[in-house]
Structure 1
Amino acid sequence: MDSGRAVLVDVRTDAEREWVGFVPGAAAVAWKQWPGMALNPDFDVQVQAAAEEGLTVMLLCRSGVRSIAAAKRATELGLTAYNVLGGFEGDPDANAQRGHQNGWRHAGLPWRQN
């Protein structure tokens, strides 16, 4: 991404990005939307727009699960796509809390909160 050949696409819901935090500069393209977690009917068009000029897309969700499905779909659309392992918050620990083992925030990567 630092080289300009890839773009980070955050596939979490608008609510997750608003309440939990977001990565500055990431494209916001929800895979599913709250409430109900219905698939985003505009995902295909939006992810293709994020990958302008042949950029590779790096897909990020809460834990790396939804972004797997989103990366598969992006690949079906002809994009070069990768899932960001661990997601934004990471896997739950023994106390069922995220952010203590892995993930974007745990790694100290850039993020902000409203």
Structure 2
Amino acid sequence: MTQAPASHDDNQPRPAEGYAGDVTPELAARWMTTGQAVLVDVRTDAEREWVGFVPGAVAVAWKQWPGMAMNAGFDEALRAAVPPGGKVVLLCRSGVRSVAAARRATELGIEAYNILEGFEGDADTDGHRGNKGGWRKRGLPWKQS
């Protein structure tokens, strides 16, 4: 007989492999607002421009549009964005690139967390994002150009 997973306190990071943990969008927003963490948006410039962005977040693309080539300046820009000894919460579209970025940040010696669901959340049955979770869907601060 399998047991149901234990409920999780959304005010605490969830364990993760290779980085400090996963956090809900609400916890990430609280940490950013209270100065406990820097929010770094790892989406492309095009995504932030067309889809929306979080005011106060630092933009450091993990991959560059077009072609989605790795951003050669990622390490340097991330180090510049996060004060020594500080922590970072990383945001992407759906929480995939931000996991890779959190692992890299950890390798650089930065306490790094992935924001679950990302900015737009998972795709729904019609293949549309923005309807199933994500920073925007949860009503957290964002703007669109």
Band the TM-score falls in, shorter-chain normalisation: over 0.9
Counterparts of 1:8-87 in structure 2, within 5 Å, are 8-87=39-118
Superposed CA offset, 1:58-97 (max 9, x none): 0000000000000000000000000000000000011111
Query: Hey, what's the Cα distance between the residues in 2 that align with 1:53 and 1:42?
Result: 18
Aligned match of 2:36: 5
Query: Hey, what's the Cα distance between the residues in 2 that align with 1:55 and 1:70?
Result: 16
Query: Alignment length, in residue pairs?
Result: 114
107, 122, 130: which is aligned to 1:99?
A: 130
Identity across matched positions, percent: 69
Query: Hey, what's the Cα distance between the residues in 2 that align with 1:3 and 1:53?
Result: 17
Q: Secondary structure at the match of 1:54?
A: coil
Unpaired stretches in structure 2, ≥5 consecutive residues: 1-31
Bigger radius of gyration: 2
Per the TM alignment, residue 44 of structure 1 is displaced from its structure 2 partner at its CA by 0.3
Superposed CA offset, 1:15-63 (max 9, x none): 0000100000000000000001000000001011111142210000000
TM value normalised by structure 2: 0.77
Query: Hey, what's the Cα distance between the residues in 2 that align with 1:15 and 1:52?
Result: 27
Query: Hey, what's the Cα distance between the residues in 2 that align with 1:54 and 1:22?
Result: 26
Structure 1 segments of 4 or more deviating over 6 A? none
Give the superposed CA RMSD.
0.7
Aligned match of 2:120: 89
TM value normalised by structure 1: 0.97
Unpaired stretches in structure 1, ≥5 consecutive residues: none
Q: Secondary structure at the match of 2:49?
A: helix
Query: Hey, what's the Cα distance between the residues in 1 that align with 2:53 and 2:125?
Result: 25
